[in-house]
Amino acid sequence: MPRHKRMRQVAVLALVIANSQILKSSNPQISPPPDAVLRAMTDEMSRAVKELHLENLPRPYYMDQTVVESDTFSGIAVFGGLARARRQQSRSQILTVRVGDYQFDNTNFPSGLQRNYDVYSLPLEDDYPTLRRHFWLAADEAYKAAVEALARKRAALRNISLPVQLNDFARQAPAATVGDKPRLTIDEKVWSERLRQFSAVFRRYPKILSSRVEFEAAAGTRYFVNSEGTRVRDPEVIWLLQAVAMAQASDGMRLHDSAWIAARREDLLGSPDGIRLEIEAMAARLSAFAGAPTLDGYSGPVLFEKMAAAQVFAEFLGRNLAMTRRPVTAGQGNFGGQAGGIGGAFDGRRKSRVLPEWMDVADDATAADFQGRPLLGHYAVDLEGVRPQRLELVRHGVLENYLLSRLPVKGFEGSNGHARIPGPGGTSIATPANLFVTARQTVPEAGLKKQLLEICKAQDREFGLIIRKLDFPSAASREDLQNIFSGQGRDERPTSIPLAIYKVYVADGREEPVRGLRLQGFSTRNLKDIIAAGDEPFVFHFIDSGSPFALMEGTYGAETSVIAPSVLMEDVELKGAEEQRPKLPVVPHPYFSRAR
Peptide bond into 408 cis (omega under 30): no
Domain residue limits at 60: 14-242
**What pLDDT is stored for residue 336 in this prediction?**
36
Q: Over the stretch 347-361, which tens digit does the pLDDT of each residue have?
A: 888 899 999 999 999
Which residues 6+ apart lie within 8 Å of 406 measured at CB? 169, 170, 172, 384, 386, 414, 415, 419, 428
Q: Report the distance separating Cα 569 and Cα 573, nearest Å.
A: 11
- Please, are residues 112 and 99 in contact by the beta-carbon 8 Å criterion? no
pLDDT band at 235 (very low <50, low <70, confident <90, very high): very high
Pick the range with the lowest mean pLDDT from 205-219, 317-331, 342-356, 512-526. Answer: 317-331
Pairing of strands 231-248, 176-178: parallel
Residue 317 lies in a domain: no
Evaluate whether residue 371 is within a structural domain. Answer: no
Determine which of 5-14, 62-71, 263-272, 519-528 has the lowest per-residue pLDDT on average: 5-14
Inside any domain, residue 236: yes
Give me the residues paired with residue 398 across strands. Answer: 353, 395
Assess if residue 45 is contained within a domain.
yes
Q: How many domains is the chain partitioned into structurally?
A: 1
Stretch 420-442: mean pLDDT: 91
534-547 per-position pLDDT tens digit? 999 999 999 998 87
User: Does some domain include residue 382?
Assistant: no
DSSP string, 303-364: EE-THHHHHHIIIIIGGGSB---PPPBTTB---S--STT---TTTT-TTSB-S-TTEEEEE-
The reply to whether 502 falls in a domain is no
What type of residue sits at position 109? F
pLDDT tens for residues 308-340? 999 999 999 998 998 777 776 655 444 333 333
pLDDT tens-place string over residues 29-48: 333 447 999 999 999 999 99
Query: Domain for residue 573, yes or no?
Result: no
Report pLDDT for 158: 82
- Residue 166: inside a domain, yes or no? yes
3-state secondary structure of 235: strand
Question: Is 234 in contact with 222 (CB distance < 8 Å)?
Answer: yes
Domain CATH number, residue 198: 3.30.2290
